[in-house]
Structures are given as structure tokens and as C-alpha cells.
Amino acid sequence: MDNLGRHILAEFYNCDENILNDHKLIEEYMVEAANEANATVVTSNFHMFNPWGVSGVVVIQESHLTIHTWPEYGYAAIDLFTCGDEVNPWLAFDYLKTKLKAEITETSEYPRGINSRIKKYSHKKIDRIQFKPELFAQTR
């Protein structure tokens, strides 16, 4: 791979408005889309707006999938950002297109972290980084 990740911006038009307004179903579909793409799901968080619309994120080990829905327009804006060679964001796209019953889709794909532009770090520099467990301790 010539870059660290792939980022697909997707427009979904003429979707099923009942599905777009069901935050539990949207969350289920987004998590399943991540699994379809061979991603490792870390967590998810979704919110239902009043009177309609859902926004949410599925955080994956390899980046994230997000969605914002406008059921009153049958529209969803979806970002599928994945890193590494093992995850295919287009599999997530195809899954969501079917589940949301989108009649029209538009997409743009962007490479993220283009390797030729990334400064290479030496092992010596990385070896100087010290792990500090207290930075990762949970506070309540």
C-alpha cells in the first residue's frame, strides 16, 4: 500500500426513511458493515435526534466508520476510513448500500497518509519513547 489508509466519502440517496430514523438498526448495520470489511470493532456510539435523524460512529482498530442521516430526505452521509491492507472499506460500502436500500450513491475515495510524504523515523528515536502506564489508567 502506498498510503496508510483509505477514506471513502459516500452520499446515499433515496434510502428507506424508516431505516434511517432507527438508531438501533443504524448502529447494528454500521457495526456489521465494519465486520464485513474485516475490521476490528473497538466501540460504537450513536445518537437519535428529535424528531428525526441519527448520527453515529463505529471506532475500529483500523480507524472509523461514521454516519449522519436525514430520514426526511431519504439521505445519509457516510465516511468509511480504514487503515492497513487487511480491511476493505468498499465491502462496508456495498453492505450499507444494500441495507439502507439506497437507490443512488456517489463516492469519492482519498488516500490518507501518503507514504512518500511521511518523514521516516529511526529506531533510535522510537526507542526513546517510554511507556507510561499512568497515562492509560482509567479515571472515574
Domain count within the chain = 1
Quote the pLDDT of residue 123: 52
* Given 68, 116, 122, 123, the catalytic residue: 68
Torsion of CA 40, 41, 42, 48, to 10 degrees: 160
Residues 90 and 36 sit within 8 Å (Cβ to Cβ): no
* Per-residue pLDDT tens digits for 56-98: 999 999 999 999 999 999 999 999 999 999 999 999 999 999 9
Q: Is 70 helix (H, G, I), strand (E, B) or coil?
A: strand
Residues 58 and 112 sit within 8 Å (Cβ to Cβ): no
83 in catalytic set? yes
Quote the pLDDT of residue 132: 52
Quote the pLDDT of residue 133: 53
State percent of the chain over pLDDT 70: 84
Instruction: Find, among 66, 16, 21, the residue nearest to 45 by Cα.
Output: 66
* Given 7, 15, 63, 64, the catalytic residue: 63
Quote the pLDDT of residue 139: 46
Quick check: is 36 in a domain?
A: yes
Quick check: is 140 in a domain?
A: no
Q: Which domain holds residue 75?
A: 3-135
Q: How confident is the model at residue 134 (pLDDT cuts 50, 70, 90)?
A: low
Quick check: is 22 in a domain?
A: yes
Instruction: Find, among 48, 47, 45, 52, the residue nearest to 74 by Cα.
Output: 52
Q: How confident is the model at residue 130 (pLDDT cuts 50, 70, 90)?
A: low
CATH code, domain carrying 131: 3.60.90.10
123 in catalytic set? no
* Per-residue pLDDT tens digits for 27-40: 999 999 999 999 99
Quick check: is 11 in a domain?
A: yes
* Given 7, 15, 64, 83, the catalytic residue: 83
